Amino acid sequence: MHVLVTGGAGYIGSHTVLQLLEEGHEVSIVDNFSNSSPESIRRVNSLAGRSAHLRSVDLLNQQELTKIFADTQPDAVIHFAGLKAVGESVSEPLKYYRNNVTGTLNLLDAMEAVDCRTLVFSSSATVYGESTALPLIESTPRNATNPYGRTKLHIEEMLEELAASDPRWSIANLRYFNPVGAHTSGLIGEDPQGTPNNLMPYVAQVAIGRREKVHVFGGDYPTADGTGVRDYIHVLDLAAGHLAALKYLRESAGAHTWNLGTGTGSSVLEVIEAFARVSGKEVPYKIVERRSGDVAENYANAEKARLELGWKAEHGLEQMVEDMWRWQKGNPTGFGPIDAFGMTDEELDIFLNR
């Protein structure tokens, strides 16, 4: 298949592009590099031994987007492009609605124009909001509690309405739990800009000595050790879930929703301990106030994906931490200043035009 991947230079996108290339698919990436670097794709290409086409375009640029679809005529789209910082979405909600919702509308128009109606969308367990009925199952009522989460909820609803209106559409809403880890090569991984919002990259930066200590948000939750529990999922398992969903959509029309999680929760202290054990480094931490908006515990029921997609997460916490640590050690400042050496002419052009 020819798969167009929006946001393919980002964290989850780059790991998925690599698996698509490894499976023999043709891949075109559309990314504006607002939260990524083309260096990730240079490394993906070198790992795969073949190249994805990389286009530096913003989804908000309808004209250019339409042109890319006309040029590439993809069979399917995997849509990762989006802004994802919950706190920033509260202070700049319009930026989030514009980028995530308008960006998706533009994408759908560009797809329709070339009769491409197969779409895998990056949704999030955040659409379950403060639901306390665990484990979270796809039929749990949606109730997002911040603008970022509501962009995901609105997009899910929009996609369901679209599929209901026209049986030619095949759509997957994939609700990720907490993606972590990195490719086993240590060459690609998550490269957060500034202070990481999420636990794992923060802990990794403490272990490598870039930050002093982990602030544990709340030690008095009704959980086994009092700290928050989440369903961490290895990014390689997540990427594999996208390929499984694509395969399913080739044979089934309509909108479908799957949780992608392991079904098992780990506490903040368990994550810190695993990191200290794997890295052999001290990971100092301090328990501080709860972070507003956090729930005590959340983990997936991932049975639907197992039964319908034949997919299940294979990696446990130890493996997630080992891979994350290898990436962090080898790339202490992420992708760093971009090294144009080894880029294809196309990549280099994109780069110089930035």
Partner whose footprint covers residue 294, from ligand WQD, ligand NAD, none (CB < 5 to 8 Å by kind): ligand WQD
Q: Is 217 or 219 the residue whose CB approaches ligand NAD more closely?
A: 217
Q: Is 11 a catalytic residue?
A: no
272 binds, among ligand NAD, ligand WQD, none (CB under 5 to 8 A by kind): none
- Give the one entry of ligand WQD, ligand NAD, none that residue 147 binds, where binding means its C-beta sits below a cut-off of 5 to 8 angstroms depending on kind: none
104 binds ligand NAD (CB under 6 A): no
> Any residues with CB less than 8 A from the CB of 285 and at least 6 apart, and which?
206, 213, 214, 215, 216, 269, 272
Residues 6 or more apart in contact with residue 227 via CB below 8 angstroms: 216, 218, 219, 221, 267, 268, 269, 287
CA distance 106 to 62: 6
Q: Which of 59, 120, 240, 243 binds ligand NAD (CB under 6 A)?
A: 59
Contacting ligand NAD (CB under 6 A), which of 28, 35, 173, 205?
35
Asked if 128 interacts with ligand NAD (CB under 6 A), we say no
Burial class (CB in 10 A: 0-12, 13-18, 19+), 23: middle
214-228 burial, b if ≥16 CB within 10 A, otherwise e? bbbbbbebebeebbb
* 3-class SS of residue 130: coil
Q: Looking at 96, 148, 248, 285, which residue is catalytic?
A: 148
Specify the amino acid at residue 331: N
Contact partner at residue 216 from ligand WQD, ligand NAD, none, CB < 5 to 8 Å by partner kind: ligand WQD
The SS3 of residue 269 is: helix
The rounded distance, in Å, linking the Cα atoms of 12 and 14 is 6
Q: Which is nearer to ligand NAD, 127 or 249 (CB)?
A: 127
Q: Which of 22, 23, 26, 58 binds ligand NAD (CB under 6 A)?
A: 58
Find, among 353, 203, 350, the residue nearest to 284 by Cα: 203
**Partner interacting with residue 268 (select from ligand NAD, ligand WQD, none; CB below 5-8 Å by kind):** ligand WQD
Q: Which residues bind ligand WQD (CB under 6 A)?
A: 84, 86, 124, 126, 178, 197-199, 202, 214-217, 228, 230, 268, 291, 294
The entry of ligand WQD, ligand NAD, none near residue 327 (CB within 5 to 8 angstroms by kind) is none
Look at residues 209, 188, 232 and name the one whose alpha carbon lies nearest to residue 327.
188
Determine if 149 is a binding residue for ligand NAD (CB under 6 A).
no
DSSP for 45-79, written as a single string: HHHHTS--EEEE--TT-HHHHHHHHHHH--SEEEE
Q: How far apart are CA 125 and CA 178, in angstroms?
A: 8
Q: Are 199 and 270 in contact (CB under 8 A)?
A: no
For residues 17 and 44, give the distance between their C-alpha atoms in angstroms, rounded to a whole number.
8
- Residue from 28, 36, 170, 262 touching ligand NAD (CB under 6 A): that is 36
Asked whether position 181 contacts ligand NAD by CB under 6 A, the answer is: no
Minimum distance of ligand NAD from residue 6's CB (angstroms): 6
Looking at residues 74 to 103 of the shown chain, list those that interact with ligand NAD (rule: CB under 6 A): 80-84, 99, 103
Residue 60 binds ligand NAD, judged by CB under 6 A: yes
Is 350:8 a contact under the CB 8 Å cutoff?
Answer: no
Q: Which residue lies nearer to ligand NAD by CB, 106 or 267?
A: 106
Q: What is the DSSP letter of 129?
A: T
- Least separation in angstroms between residue 10's CB and ligand WQD is 12
Q: Which does 78 bind (CB under 5 to 8 A by kind): ligand WQD, ligand NAD, none?
A: none
Q: Looking only at residues 281 through 310 of this chain, which bind ligand NAD when binding is defined by CB under 6 A?
A: none
45 binds ligand NAD (CB under 6 A): no
User: Catalytic residue numbers?
Assistant: 148
Contact footprint for ligand NAD (CB under 6 A): 7, 9-13, 30-36, 58-60, 80-84, 99, 103, 122, 124, 176, 179
